[in-house]
Structure 1
Amino acid sequence: MRLILLVSAMLLCLGVVRASPSSPAASPTRLDHILLWGRGIDQVTSVMAVKLGFQVRPGHDPGGVANRYVRFADSSFIELLGITRPDPAFDPGMKEDQQALKGGPGSRSFGFRSSELDAIYRRLKRLNYAVTPFFTGPDSAKPGWRLFAFNHAPLSSNTFFIDYAADYAPDQFDPSNAGDYRATREHPNGARELSAMWLVSADADADRRQLETMGFGHAVPVKLPQLGATGFCVPVGPTALLALQPDGAGVAAEVMAGGGSRVLGVSVGVADLARAQRWVERGYERRLTTYRGLSGESFLAPTRDDLGLSIEFHAIQPGMAPCADAGI
């Protein structure tokens, strides 16, 4: 069921981001994007743009489920999804996702991106993972992306692996006009990168073990008092995947009690933390405090009621390895 949701979301994704030609070569594997459902496409767009200060890019609206994008300079993105009519053409995966989210906002799916997609696929098959065949899009005559998913999700949240053709042009990118490309990745809040994704479940160690088997080892134990969570920080190329579980009262326990395993939140690196903080404080009309997080000085935006997940903003620290500040 979940597989169909992933493939449908990818078919919506006609403008998937690629790094500009001048960008440095990326690591073979990294975290790519999450699929974030809103209460409606305009609701989630308004929260991301007005309250949080992101630039939101257009998408498509086939069958009553629309998508839009928040794209980052590091080539990652957040895909926004929303229902646009009373009788949307849900496939079974979308229906399952909405049932799990109880019609509310949130995310249950995320993707890894790798230039070694075939090697990863062969390895996972040898390990007896229930991987699907490859899917391609957006045009079968000249596919721009390839992905595979799992018939049975190995992690507490659903995942897939994806890669993009070298000549696949993202939205509105003309190679002769790199300025326009850069402008679509510039945000009023100064966001530059999607540095981490956070999974929450009842058993963080189960996710850690699965990630290690899948090839993502070197987990570091972490304790996050700002979320009431404990678990592990797992490096994935230049990004980090947090496998968490509730640790007493707090956000993690509340999320688990209200809907179970899902993407608990994401970390976003910004060029100017004070500017991002001022923007979010204006958007939510409340004062916010900073703390020392896994990525350095950070603050937590109060987005859980609006988006069904938390967004942490942190100051970018050039050259800092993922999970470098982790450890209990």
Structure 2
Amino acid sequence: MRLTLVISAWFLCLGVAQASTPSPAPAASTTQLEHILLWGRSIDQVTSIMAVKLGFQVRPGHDPDGVANRYVRFSDGSYIELLGITRPNPTFDPGMQADQEALKGGPGSRTFGFRTSSLDAIHRSLQLLHYAVTPFFSGPDSKKPGWRLFAFTRAPLSSNTFFIDYASGYAPDQFDPSNKDDYRVTREHPNGAQMLSSIWLVSADANADRQQLEKMGFGHAVPVTLPEVGAQGFCVPVGPTALLVLQPQGAGLAGQVMASGGPRILGASYGVIDLGRAQRWVERGYERSLATYRGVYGESFLAPTQDDLGMTIEFHAMQPGTSVCPAASP
């Protein structure tokens, strides 16, 4: 069974679970952000935007029941899963149907995942905190190593999420140990992207998301301001990555997104080995000049992807040794 089908089937209702004990889940040191589910207007449209305009390498996926997926994989193990409808009257599971209704059939993302090596401990702790977690699900089948995950029947955050772990040796893109070079080049991108730095959630109340993350074991939030998208909120460390939980501040993209579609994934930040190369690629793709700015992760620029992808992609220069939640942008 395809992982997307399992994940989306569980994201049926929204709400916040209440905890009866202050003890957080032991998550922070063994967990990082990994996985965004991104819907396009069609699978070919979203593939073209990611490859031609943005300079990512897109890998094949599958097309069961009229909903296809493809992958953009990174050297740090994170990835973007692209989704698109390929025929009239596709078969949606309830989670896909909910996504399509929330996105009004347009592009965008409202689901992301945490990867962890402490899946059982986190599941037990969240149960003790009275979070509405699902049972575990495993795949692809019992005869070979795969993945295990759990999700929430009542979402604790303003966007849907899940926790996943992979068995040793699991190869979602057919890794052959005798052909390491092929595996390596699937994570090399013309734009030089290497790593996921953060996922940006937008809602009407950033502090509510911050409080829920702290209960779940992700504390040490740092206040941040993103004037480039008209947002403010908190940077919450998640291992080597971070969640930016944001709300609109004045006029800007964050307010426009909230007004037109409500809470969702507003954007994501990716570190690149050569910011100038990434900037030149995106400027050619969109046929416009783009300005850099001093962002949360240093010198950065925004790709103008909101109309195409329903979310913003930020590229920033990689700076080894910096904090995952450095000081706010000026």
TM-score w.r.t. the length of structure 2 is 0.91
Q: CA deviation at 1:27?
A: 5.7
Secondary structure (helix, strand or coil) at the match of 1:323 reads: coil
Q: Alpha-carbon deviations, 1:73-93, whole Å to 9, x = none?
A: 010000000000001001111
Q: Alpha-carbon deviations, 1:228-247, whole Å to 9, x = none?
A: 00000000000010000000
Amino acid at match of 1:7: I
In the other structure, the counterpart of 1:17 is none
Whole-Å separation in 2 of the counterparts to 1:67 and 1:325: 36
Match of 1:78 among 71, 77, 80: 80
Is the 1:221–1:327 contact (alpha carbons within 8 Å) kept by the matching residues of 2?
no
Secondary structure (helix, strand or coil) at the match of 2:104 reads: coil
Match of 1:58 among 54, 57, 60: 60
Whole-Å separation in 2 of the counterparts to 1:204 and 1:274: 32
Is the 1:4–1:91 contact (alpha carbons within 8 Å) kept by the matching residues of 2?
no
Is the 1:195–1:239 contact (alpha carbons within 8 Å) kept by the matching residues of 2?
yes
In the other structure, the counterpart of 2:147 is 145
In the other structure, the counterpart of 1:227 is 229
Q: CA deviation at 1:29?
A: 0.4
Match of 1:175 among 177, 199, 208: 177
Secondary structure (helix, strand or coil) at the match of 1:318 reads: coil
Amino acid at match of 2:267: G
- Count of residue pairs brought into register by the alignment: 311
Q: Alpha-carbon deviations, 1:39-90, whole Å to 9, x = none?
A: 0000000000000000000000000000000000010000000000001001
Match of 1:97 among 91, 96, 99: 99
In the other structure, the counterpart of 1:7 is 7
In the other structure, the counterpart of 1:118 is 120
RMSD of Structure 2 on Structure 1 (CA) = 1.7
Is the 1:136–1:143 contact (alpha carbons within 8 Å) kept by the matching residues of 2?
no
The worse-fitting range, judged by mean Cα deviation, of 312-321 and 296-305 is 312-321
Whole-Å separation in 2 of the counterparts to 1:222 and 1:52: 26
In the other structure, the counterpart of 1:262 is 264
Q: CA deviation at 1:325?
A: 3.0
Is the 1:220–1:327 contact (alpha carbons within 8 Å) kept by the matching residues of 2?
no
Match of 2:296 among 285, 294, 297: 294
Secondary structure (helix, strand or coil) at the match of 1:125 reads: helix
Q: CA deviation at 1:38?
A: 0.2
Kindly tell me: are residues 148 and 130 of structure 1, through their superposed partners in 2, closer, same or farther at Cα, counting changes over 3 Å? same
Q: Alpha-carbon deviations, 1:71-117, whole Å to 9, x = none?
A: 00010000000000001001111111101000000000000000001
Is the 2:69–2:84 contact (alpha carbons within 8 Å) kept by the matching residues of 1?
yes
Whole-Å separation in 2 of the counterparts to 1:27 and 1:244: 23
Q: Alpha-carbon deviations, 1:115-138, whole Å to 9, x = none?
A: 001000000000000000001111
Q: Alpha-carbon deviations, 1:252-296, whole Å to 9, x = none?
A: 000000100000000011000000000000000000000011111
Whole-Å separation in 2 of the counterparts to 1:165 and 1:279: 36
Work out whether 1:194 is the aligned partner of 2:214: no
Kindly tell me: are residues 61 and 52 of structure 1, through their superposed partners in 2, closer, same or farther at Cα, counting changes over 3 Å? same
Is the 1:199–1:264 contact (alpha carbons within 8 Å) kept by the matching residues of 2?
yes
Match of 1:308 among 307, 310, 327: 310
Gaps of 5+ in 1: 11-25
Secondary structure (helix, strand or coil) at the match of 1:267 reads: strand
In the other structure, the counterpart of 2:45 is 43
Whole-Å separation in 2 of the counterparts to 1:219 and 1:308: 26
Secondary structure (helix, strand or coil) at the match of 1:153 reads: coil
Sequence identity (%): 77
Q: CA deviation at 1:153?
A: 0.2
Secondary structure (helix, strand or coil) at the match of 1:173 reads: coil
Whole-Å separation in 2 of the counterparts to 1:27 and 1:178: 29
Whole-Å separation in 2 of the counterparts to 1:83 and 1:51: 21
Gaps of 5+ in 2: 11-27
Kindly tell me: are residues 30 and 180 of structure 1, through their superposed partners in 2, closer, same or farther at Cα, counting changes over 3 Å? same
Amino acid at match of 1:106: G
Match of 2:241 among 239, 242, 263: 239
The worse-fitting range, judged by mean Cα deviation, of 138-147 and 253-262 is 138-147
Whole-Å separation in 2 of the counterparts to 1:9 and 1:189: 34
Is the 2:230–2:253 contact (alpha carbons within 8 Å) kept by the matching residues of 1?
yes
Is the 1:4–1:93 contact (alpha carbons within 8 Å) kept by the matching residues of 2?
no
Whole-Å separation in 2 of the counterparts to 1:217 and 1:8: 27
